A and B are shown apart, each in its own frame.
Chain A
Amino acid sequence: MEIITNHLLTILIFLPLAGAITLLGFQRDNDGGVKLIASFFGFMNLILGLVLFFCYSGNGAVFQFVEKYQWIKSLGIQYYLGVDAVSMYLITATTLMTAICLVASWNIKKYVREYFLCILFVESGVIGALAALDLVLFYIFWEVMLIPMYFLIGIWGDYKRIYSTLKFYIYTMAGSVIMLVAIFTLYWLNGKGNFEILGMYNMSIPASKQMLLFLAFFVAFAIKVPLIPFHTWQPDTYVNAPTAGTVLLAAVLSKMGVYGFYRFALPLFPEAAMRFTPVIATLTLVAVVYISLIAIVQKDMKRLIAYSSVAHLAIIVLGMYLLTTQGVQGAIFQMLNHTVVTGALFLLLGILFERSASRQIKDYSGLAKQMPLYATFFMIAMLASVGLPGTNGFIGEFLLFIGIFKANIFYAVIACSGTVLGAIYILWMYQRSFFGPLEKEENKKLPDMNVREFGYMIPLIILIFVMGIFPQYFIKKFNNTTVSFINTVKTGHAVSMIIDNK
């Protein structure tokens, strides 16, 4: 037991890789075995993720489960892992979503083994990037998750898959390369001969140098989230990716962008971040209104949810940057909600598209009659997405809005208007596809959710309510972490003010 808890993060990172390697040992046509083994590994990692969640103490040190070894001594690169509450939550959420994605992908027809292999690879990359406390280690994992994603979309995607995956890859790659340059610059500036992220928090870089470095990191993460104007890869990619790919992108990878802001852009360059805050606020607020308006007129269900995801993420980023206690805590809580709710919505859409080829709203009507259980689940996820009290979405939005309000009333007014628009586009979509008469002959044959689908959806549905009714259980774990985050940024800001004045 000791050995597991001491190396929990390492195991979490490499267990999926081990699973991927095990899959290679299978015959190409042994699909059943592949599915079982892949799901088994996903499930094992989920259990470890839950162990991480339950063992992380909200009252203890901010960083826990730390592992630190020299790796490439000459360059000062270390194998340095550790989690604070935010990365802990995101890791647990990743293990959950991956496990669900694995079970949800049982109907994949071609290259089954490779498909599951890719998903497990993504999981390793994501958990590694979240756990890394060394910049180079982080960067390696950050890139590692990109490659299997590229294949997932390119091979198993819809008809525009090649275009989409290239667009996705080039966009993300462009961001990453700029970030790599900034990482080396940081190393030089630091002068301690290592890449320790936490050590760099009190580097006090002069404000003039912070600007460019901040931008370099900002662009990389803004693409990943995505924020406007870096978002145009997103709808195409989300729509054309296979269900598991979309879920991973929306529920897991998009958080990597926000996490990047949280871990790097804000605490490393507080002065620059604060100077850019009005710009970022403008971008995010424009995104809320603009993306929501676009979402209203969408004809493709998956595209609509993709846009809604962008709008929700924009508010999260805004709350994070405004640095009020409620705003930051709301942002973190809402990240988890977004994982659960957007993940649930895309999974549900996947269930429908496995039965019927069309993604167009107009091809459906009266689904609530034909697939009542499915319609109920969709309704719950939808209501959580519009922030209905009693669901998790409310707590996140409420904290975010009150935090934004504290910083700037004007921002809060625009941000809140998003809730009205959000209700319009998603309810209208639901109304057109689920309500109304069951007209089309082919829709009269659609079966409701089966046991497997019910099985992997129900945890998310339960989480929606549990997190909405007992949110304090989750919030109290990240209380210390957020306080220390805000302090780091604010102190950093104060210090660089002093330096600048000299």
Chain B
Amino acid sequence: MIKYVWLVPFFPLIGVLINGILGWKLEKINKGIIHWIACGAVGLSFLVVWMIFRELLNLPPEHRHFEIIVYNWFTSGVLSVNVAYLVDPLSITMSLFVTGVGFLIHVYSIGYMGHDEGRYYRYFTYLNLFMFSMINLILANNFVLMFLGWEGVGVCSYLLIGFWFENKEFASAGKKAFVFNRIGDFGFVLGMFLLFFSVGKYTDIYTLNFYNAMSHVKFIPVAVASAVGILLFIGATGKSAQIPLYVWLPDAMAGPTPVSALIHAATMVTAGVYMVARCAPLYLHGHSAMEIVAIIGGVTSFFAATMAIAQYDIKKVIAYSTISQLGYMFLGVGVAAFSAGVFHIVTHSFFKALLFLGAGSVIHALSGEQDMRKMGGLKDKIPVTYWTFLIACLAISGIPGLSGFFSKDEILGKTFASGHYFLWFLGTVTAGLTAFYMFRVLFMTFFGESRVEPDVAKHIHESPATMTVPMIILAVLSAIGGYIGVPHLLGGSNRIESFLEPSFSYGGIETENLFHHVPAGTEYFLMIIAVLVGLAGIYVAYLFYMKNKSIPENLVKKYPTLHKLLYNKWYIDEIYEAVFEKPGHFLGSVLWMIWDELIVDGIVKGVSNIVRGIGCGLRFVQTGSVQFYAVGVLLGIVITVTYFLNF
């Protein structure tokens, strides 16, 4: 099956072509055909990935590496790029959850988008196009094909954020996402070029193939490797919404909720982390770049968590939470705990997709309401949503036994072991904040008295099975998904780590001294602290939003500036607007109106006026005699040519 890996992106592509070209017709005939095609395509992809995964498991670890070339994309001089796919533990792990979660969200969309007349086929076309791009991003064996997926998912995100484009703000949010991603891609492309030429310079191997380039990355100077790493990471900060390019993600919540779940939580936004993991040897070699990844990750996770605690829009809270969790993943890969980072990608995709689908189910039940101040008491009215949401909240808060616990603990433990004590501290505090804001959402939405507007309250209903079944499956995965990576400390064998390891450790770079030996006692201690902090967060949320509801109001009154700062997300959007957008526009206008139109064109017009003046003076030469003109022309040419020749 491995040599048929191209089928994985191929199925969604077929879905795109059928629905994209014929969808408008199919929608009139029978909407069912559209979603059957779309879901079927992703389902088939998942099956293929699953079979490849089984095959891979049967092979000895050192043979789990295949590169399947489909065709030569383009060749120019020493540069040759193939459309080719890479099958190794990392790419298959990623593909498994991307196609799996992707399939569930496709199914969920049938229920969620069912009411959207006239644009149903577009939605599923975009969704399939997204899957196609995302699979290319993950399975690509070289940077350029990865970049195809990288930009492709960006476009799908743009199209889907602005899916309800009649709303100006939604359309604007889509553009914002695209532009911020473009800024990141600017760095990504330059990093790719620098890697290409520096590996070429020191080894005479010109390649953009991952394995080939990464195997030779140790021959380039450390400073250059760091520069490449930083440039590529700029791309990652755009795609994975990290400081300073994260601002597009909260706005991206304008899109339909399944899209937020699929693209802006489970899959696309983790692409940056995946890219860093894919380039593990490069980052191990250029360790200052890796240091920056860890710092940005740690700081972002804390910073985004602070913004999440003051939001009232249910989706916005989860969006900031996503930024924060992505920060954890970068923290993980930034301290060389690559498999821990990828492990968190996987568990996060389960519980975060579930949180969004749960939020979507709430919004669906409340006829589109997203403000938590107008919710409350939904626990008994939409029980399935409540229970699954609860599991997701427990998982993200790091309650022992659930998936989030294992992966988060792995990252924090490795951070500590690598000597980044401050980042470990920041991460642990963030864990408390995470538990707090998630349970704040839970309590405000499902508990207490109902604050739902009366005419909305009449229509509250549990979502249809196409929505609840995917949620239940994700809830099960959120609960037990962590058992693929139970640490040795707790008697497990950390299967995911040993499975992924060959994908990171082939660059021939010394990695032994990266982690100190941490005594088992300390490890237990760290684990207990993290759990206690999480529980404390939940308790505070209980105190604030269940027991004594006046506390939050009092706090707001007591610290109005801090609240305003948090509520307005530290005014980062406003600062960007004042520093970049406005001056850019001003500069553009000045250049156009004053420099281009007035000065450059003015000089041109000036010249023509002078010529006209001379022309008036020379009018008498116009005798009308052709011979006279001919002589003039000839003389002119002779004079100039003579001048040229003697110059």
Contacts and interface: CB of A to CB of B under 8 A. Distances in A.
Interface string B212-241: 000000000000000000000000000000
A472 B79 contact: no
Interface string B595-631: 0110011001000100000000000000000000000
Contacts of A296: 584-585, 588
A366 B166 contact: yes
B152 to A, nearest CB: 6
A153 interface: no
Interface string B148-165: 101110010010001001
A423 B179 contact: yes
Given A181-B644, A368-B165, A416 B637 contact: no
A377 to B, nearest CB: 13
B548 interface: no
A402 B152 contact: no
Interface of A: 170-171, 181-182, 184-185, 188-189, 208-209, 212-213, 228-229, 232-233, 290, 293-298, 324-326, 329-330, 366, 368-369, 383, 386, 388-390, 394-395, 398-399, 401-402, 405-406, 409, 412-413, 416-417, 419-420, 423-424, 427-428, 431, 434-438, 471-472, 475-476
B647 A212 contact: yes
B196 interface: yes
Given A294-B588, A388-B151, 18 more contacts: A181-B644, A232-B600, A294-B596, A297-B589, A297-B592, A298-B592, A369-B166, A383-B155, A386-B182, A389-B152, A394-B151, A401-B193, A405-B197, A424-B179, A427-B179, A435-B162, A435-B166, A476-B75
Contact of A420 (B72, B165, B182, B194): B182
A343 B166 CA distance: 28
Interface string B134-153: 00000000001001101110
Contact of A181 (B162, B591, B592, B641): B641
A122 B189 CA distance: 40
B190 A189 contact: no
Contact of B596 (A171, A232, A394, A476): A232
Contact of B193 (A386, A395, A412, A427): A412
Majority secondary structure of chain B interface residues (helix, strand, loop or mixed): helix
A418 B162 CA distance: 24
Contacts of B182: 386, 419-420, 423
Given A296-B588, A329-B76, A209 B647 contact: yes
19 contacts: A181-B644, A208-B647, A209-B647, A293-B584, A295-B588, A297-B585, A325-B78, A326-B76, A326-B77, A389-B152, A394-B148, A401-B189, A405-B193, A416-B190, A419-B186, A424-B179, A431-B175, A472-B74, A475-B75
4 pairs of A and B residues whose beta carbons are closest in the complex: A325-B77, A435-B171, A389-B148, A435-B165
Contacts of A438: 166
| Most chain A Cβ neighbours within 10 Å, of B175, B185, B196, B585 | B175
A409 B192 CA distance: 12
Contacts of B179: 420, 423-424, 427
B178 interface: yes
| Most chain B Cβ neighbours within 10 Å, of A170, A182, A419, A431 | A431
A406 B197 CA distance: 7
A438 B186 CA distance: 34
B74 A436 contact: no
B79 A326 contact: yes
B520 interface: no
B604 A232 contact: yes
Nearest to B611: A170
Contacts of A401: 189, 193
B645 A427 contact: no
A13 B502 CA distance: 62
Interface in B63-88: 72-79
B450 interface: no
Interface in B543-588: 584-585, 587-588
Contacts of A406: 197
Contacts of A436: 165-168, 171
B172 interface: yes
A233 B597 CA distance: 11
Nearest to A293: B588
Given A389-B151, A402-B79, A431-B175, A437 B197 contact: no
B640 interface: yes
A417 B186 contact: yes
Nearest to A471: B74
A350 B637 CA distance: 43
A285 to B, nearest CB: 15
| Most chain B Cβ neighbours within 10 Å, of A181, A297, A406 | A297
Contacts of A435: 162, 165-166, 168, 171
Contacts of A229: 600
B166 A437 contact: yes
Nearest to B144: A398
A488 to B, nearest CB: 17
A484 B335 CA distance: 50
Nearest to A324: B77
A398 B150 CA distance: 14
A388 B181 CA distance: 12
| Most chain B Cβ neighbours within 10 Å, of A170, A417, A419, A472 | A472
Nearest to B72: A472
Interface string B511-538: 0000000000000000000000000000
A416 B234 CA distance: 14
Contacts of B78: 325
A66 B164 CA distance: 57
Nearest to A427: B175
Nearest to B172: A431
B476 interface: no
Nearest to A397: B189
A188 B645 contact: yes
Nearest to A236: B601
Contacts of A409: 194
A471 B165 CA distance: 33
A113 B618 CA distance: 39
A29 B212 CA distance: 69
A412 B190 contact: yes
Contacts of A395: 74
B21 to A, nearest CB: 11
Contacts of B185: 419
A293 B587 contact: yes
B601 A232 contact: yes
A399 B76 contact: yes
A181 to B, nearest CB: 5
A420 B185 CA distance: 9
A330 B171 contact: no
B429 interface: no
A475 B76 contact: yes
Contacts of B175: 427-428, 431
A170 B591 CA distance: 25
B178 A427 contact: yes
Contact of A471 (B73, B587, B596): B73
Contact of B186 (A386, A399, A420): A420
Contact of B641 (A184, A405, A420): A184
A475 B74 contact: yes
A436 B166 CA distance: 4
Nearest to B78: A325
B291 to A, nearest CB: 23
Nearest to A171: B604
Nearest to B184: A420
A420 B196 contact: no
Contacts of B584: 293, 296
B275 interface: no
A308 B206 CA distance: 33
B51 to A, nearest CB: 27
